[in-house]
């Protein structure tokens, strides 16, 4: 009886989560077709975060519900069982999300490619808004790609200047002591030091240029770039 009650509670919770998930997807579809003024990239990031949260809740609740049945109670002696349930639930949810995403994308694509004269006035407005948001998103992506390329080039330049710095510093150690204060190598070292400071300042600016960057996963190794920017050389 106790196991039955646990199972019923679990399925009720699953039912609530499923309704919440369905309502959320309807909201996403509505916002996508109405093209809200909020930046397109921010909207997508927010929706992905919310979907991940709902997915985690759904996985946990279904795993608990399945684990409460007598048959599964026997199998729980094997720790791999829960992992199997999570993988199965994750696969099902992923398939559902892919189907919904493709459906929504096809709807938007059909709206955009349909001549305006064949659309009702309210859909013409939606079409124009979506096209405008897509243009903004495309422009942001182009700027981001340019910044990433510039950052990579600047990092390469920094490593080259750092190599020259080390080379000159090594040569300076081998020069007579009286030439170490005002000799040509010292002047060259000062010039390289100034250039290094400017490059590091630029790297720090480029690495922190995108406010919504995911620092937890750091997909573009920006933490490494910031570490390079914080290095210091004494003349």
Joined together, the tokens standing for residue 203 give: 């790297």
Element (H, E) at 223: helix 222-229
Please indicate whether residue 13 or residue 108 has the higher confidence score (pLDDT).
Answer: 108
pLDDT at 3: 40
CA 48 – CA 160 distance, rounded (Å): 40
**Stronger pLDDT, 148 or 37, i.e. the higher one:** 148
Of the candidates 99, 125, 121, which has an alpha carbon nearest to the alpha carbon of residue 29? Answer: 99
Reported as a pLDDT band with limits 50, 70 and 90, residue 164 is confident
How many helices, marked H, and strands, marked E, lie in the chain? 7, 0
Average pLDDT, the chain: 66
**pTM of this prediction exceeds 0.95:** no
User: pLDDT tens digit string along 106-162?
Assistant: 777 777 788 888 888 888 888 788 778 777 777 777 777 777 777 778 878 878 887
Higher pLDDT residue, 30 or 216? 216
Cα 38 to Cα 71: distance, rounded to the nearest angstrom: 49
More confident residue, 158 or 50: 158
Spell out the domain ranges in the chain.
2-113, 140-229
pLDDT value at residue 207: 73
**pLDDT (0 to 100) of residue 70:** 54
CB 226 within 8 A of CB 207: yes
């Amino acid at each position: 009886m106790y196991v039955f009650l646990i199972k019923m509670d679990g399925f009720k919770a699953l039912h609530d989560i499923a309704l919440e998930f369905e309502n959320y997807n309807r909201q996403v579809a509505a916002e996508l077709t109405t093209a809200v003024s909020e930046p397109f990239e921010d909207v997508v990031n927010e929706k992905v975060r919310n979907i991940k949260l709902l997915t985690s809740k759904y996985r946990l609740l279904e795993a608990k519900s399945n684990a409460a049945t007598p048959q599964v109670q026997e199998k729980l002696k094997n720790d791999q069982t829960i992992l199997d349930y999570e993988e199965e639930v994750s696969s099902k949810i992923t398939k559902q999300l892919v189907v919904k995403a493709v459906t929504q994308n096809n709807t938007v694509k059909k709206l955009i490619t349909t001549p305006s004269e064949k659309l009702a006035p309210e859909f013409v407005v939606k079409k124009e808004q979506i096209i405008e948001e897509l243009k903004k998103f495309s422009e942001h992506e182009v700027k981001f790609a340019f910044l990433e390329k510039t950052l990579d080039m600047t990092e390469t330049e920094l490593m080259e200047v750092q190599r020259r710095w080390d080379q000159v510093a090594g040569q300076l150690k081998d020069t007579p002591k009286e030439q170490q204060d005002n000799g040509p190598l010292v002047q060259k070292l000062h010039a390289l030091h100034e250039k290094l400071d400017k490059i590091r300042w630029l790297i720090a600016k480029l690495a922190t240029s995108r406010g919504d960057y995911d620092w937890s996963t750091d997909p573009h190794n920006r933490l490494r770039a910031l570490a390079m920017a914080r290095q210091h050389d004494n003349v």
